[in-house]
Amino acid sequence: MPTITKTDSLLTNAEKPLLNILYQDDYLVAVDKPAGLFVHRSFMDKDENYFALQLVRDQIGKYVYPVHRLDKPTSGVLLFALTKDIARKMSEMFSQKNSNKTIQKTYYALVRGHLLGENLIDYPLKEKLDKLGDKNVSRDKPAQAAQTYYQSITTASLPIALGKYDSVRYSLIKLLPKTGRRHQIRRHLAHLRHPIIGDINYGDNKQNPFFIQHFGFKRLMLIAKQLAFIHPVSAEPISIDVEFDQLWQAVFKQLDWSIEF
């Protein structure tokens, strides 16, 4: 199984970002999307200058087609197709109708508290709708099936009082979503009362400010670390990985984590 690994690039406002190309052939291209970058233009992007789709197109000199999405604050492996036909095939593989399990997405998250062991979160989610983009969509739809497998990798504690607790606790969690609901991982971890650090929608309003002050940066601590799938043309298994970027590594160092993947 071919595996391609590179280090995350960080988004800067000062200059046009140059994205790391993790994988490219005649049909597909995968890049390392930094946190803070939209995949493509949307009604929420009026103040944004750069988008992953346009950046990739300009870098490789070819039009690209998105086949899945990563939230703006999430970093990691982002895949595009180079033709409409391949885009359709890959979109079908990513869709909920895909029963052949030909795609496996692996995420890692830094969460509040000590979340131990491993388990399957089987918790239905109401569809998350945008006020503007989905203004004509019914709000009365029943909750949809949503499943996320998690595994605790390591934990740490800082002897610093915060709120009613005498220490600050963190866990590094590996996550394998079995379905693809919007914000699924973020909402599932919040449901377990172990929200992702830096999550302004579902996170902890005490932990997030503390993290910014203690670690020196503001960011959603969620990374799409690996994407594995069956190639739509060659039928070969492909695995594309990114490394934890400098900010992740800085957190690992401060928490005294030495982790091999």
Catalytic residue positions, numbered: 71
DSSP the chain: --EEEEEPPPP-SSS---PEEEEE-SSEEEEEEPTT-BSS--TT-TT---BHHHHHHHHHTS--EE-S---TT-EEEEEEESSHHHHHHHHHHHSTT--S--EEEEEEEEEES---SEEEEE--BPPP--TTTTTTS-S-PPPBP-EEEEEEEEEEEE---BTTBSSEEEEEEEEEESS--TTHHHHHHHHTT-PBTT-TTTS-TTHHHHHHHHHS-----EEEEEEEEE-TTT--EEEEEEE--HHHHHHHHHTT-----
